């Protein structure tokens, strides 16, 4: 039996709904062996981020070295990277180990409003990570920050943002539509040539903590198993739609999604 592996480089969410914990659960559900490099610890629950403890870049490098020099990986997903020194460290290791199948989730702000990426680090994401990425997965506010566009709401504006990020070096761009309005949520995939709209009904729920992390981890899991980018993105959309539409209802705030729904709940 072939064993496919995926590595997440991200922050820990003590509440278990986002970050490293969401990624590992997603890898496991999609049949991929999950590994993790921690960039920061957060004291976090469904009400928000109560504290952040960044890991020194030297120790981020040591973790990446340990995993990549021994186990290797079929895909890497990055999430919360916090500051520019961690970003440079991660970029150096991705290059050193010639990582293929790199999914960049440019996590900036938690749903409760806490910054998970310092402002000084935005330029480093564009300079060091975007050109290495197989797929970049910004939500609408992140796409605005990365492109400098004032407003991204319509499909035409999403297409323009995707073009800019593709020119910035990403091989494929997925602009996620979760922060939009309307009865449907459309994610737009662009490979530099063709646009594919992937749409689902918008589910009315406050329990969307960790949706972006889960979606990007699911893309990485698909790529690790040798899927094409469009197939991996479509599978990821089905995975996150199932996770959102079968909420667990735990915690008193913005609760986590249901990572076992895709495999174990009625569609
Ligand atoms: N209310 C919702 N109903 C259905 N799908 C959603 C909903 N909110 C987000 N999604 C999906 O979840 C994924 C993450 O989207 P988004 O919320 O935009 O990202 P982020 O978590 O990074 O802010 C996307 O695939 C998006 O289409
Ligand atoms: C450690 C960590 N990483 C990422 C997120 C973003 O979560 P979301 O996927 O809801 O944007 C988070 N809240 N905490």
DSSP of 174-233, one letter per residue?
EE--TTS-SSEEEEEEE-SS-EEEEEEEPP--S--BTHHHHHHHHHHHHHHTT--HHHHH
The fold of 5-260 is 3.40.1190
The ligand minimizing its distance to the Cα of 218 is 1
pTM of this prediction exceeds 0.90: yes
Active site includes 210? yes
8, 134, 208, 214: which one is catalytic?
A: 208
Asked whether the ipTM of the predicted complex exceeds the cut of 0.90, the reply is yes
Q: In this predicted structure, what is the pLDDT of residue 88?
A: 98
The ligand minimizing its distance to the Cα of 176 is 1
The bridge status of strand 33-45 relative to strand 48-54 is: antiparallel
Domains of the chain: which residue ranges? 5-260
How far is it, in rounded angstroms, from Cα 187 to Cα 200? Answer: 9
Active site includes 211? yes
Active site includes 181? no
Ligand 1 proximity of 185 Cβ (cutoff 6 Å): yes
Residue to substitute in 8, 13, 187 for testing ligand 2 pocket (most ligand atoms within 8 angstroms of CB): 13
8, 39, 147, 211: which one is catalytic?
A: 211
Average pLDDT across each block of 10 residues of the chain; the chain has 267 residues. List them in order.
96 98 98 98 96 97 98 98 98 97 96 91 98 98 97 97 98 97 96 98 96 98 98 98 97 97 89
Q: In this predicted structure, what is the pLDDT of residue 117?
A: 96
Q: In this predicted structure, what is the pLDDT of residue 111?
A: 83
Active site includes 205? no
25, 176, 234, 237: which one is catalytic?
A: 176
């Amino acid at each position: 039996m072939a064993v496919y592996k995926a590595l997440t480089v991200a922050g820990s969410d003590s509440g278990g709904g986002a970050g490293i914990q969401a990624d590992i659960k997603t890898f496991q559900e999609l049949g991929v062996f999950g590994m993790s490099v921690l960039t920061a610890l957060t004291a976090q629950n469904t009400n928000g981020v109560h504290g952040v403890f960044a890991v020194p870049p030297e120790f981020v490098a040591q973790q990446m070295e340990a995993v990549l020099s021994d186990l290797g990986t079929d895909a890497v997903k990055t999430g919360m990277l916090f500051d520019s020194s961690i970003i440079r460290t991660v970029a150096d290791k991705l290059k050193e180990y010639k990582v293929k199948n790199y999914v960049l989730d440019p996590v900036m702000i938690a749903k409760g409003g806490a910054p998970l990426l310092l402002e000084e680090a935005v330029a480093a994401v564009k300079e060091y990570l975007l050109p290495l990425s197989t797929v970049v997965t910004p939500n609408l506010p992140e796409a605005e920050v990365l492109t400098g566009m004032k407003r991204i709401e319509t499909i035409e504006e999403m297409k323009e943002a995707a073009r800019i990020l593709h020119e910035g070096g990403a091989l494929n761009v997925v602009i996620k539509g979760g922060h939009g309005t309307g009865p449907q949520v459309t994610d737009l995939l662009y490979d530099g040539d063709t646009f594919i709209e992937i749409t689902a009904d918008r589910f009315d729920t406050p329990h969307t903590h960790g949706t972006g992390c889960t979606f990007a981890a699911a893309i990485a899991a698909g790529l690790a198993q040798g899927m094409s980018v469009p197939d991996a993105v479509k599978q990821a959309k089905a995975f996150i739609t199932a996770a959102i539409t079968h909420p667990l209802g735990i915690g008193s705030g913005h609760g986590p999604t249901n990572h076992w729904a895709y495999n174990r709940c009625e569609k």
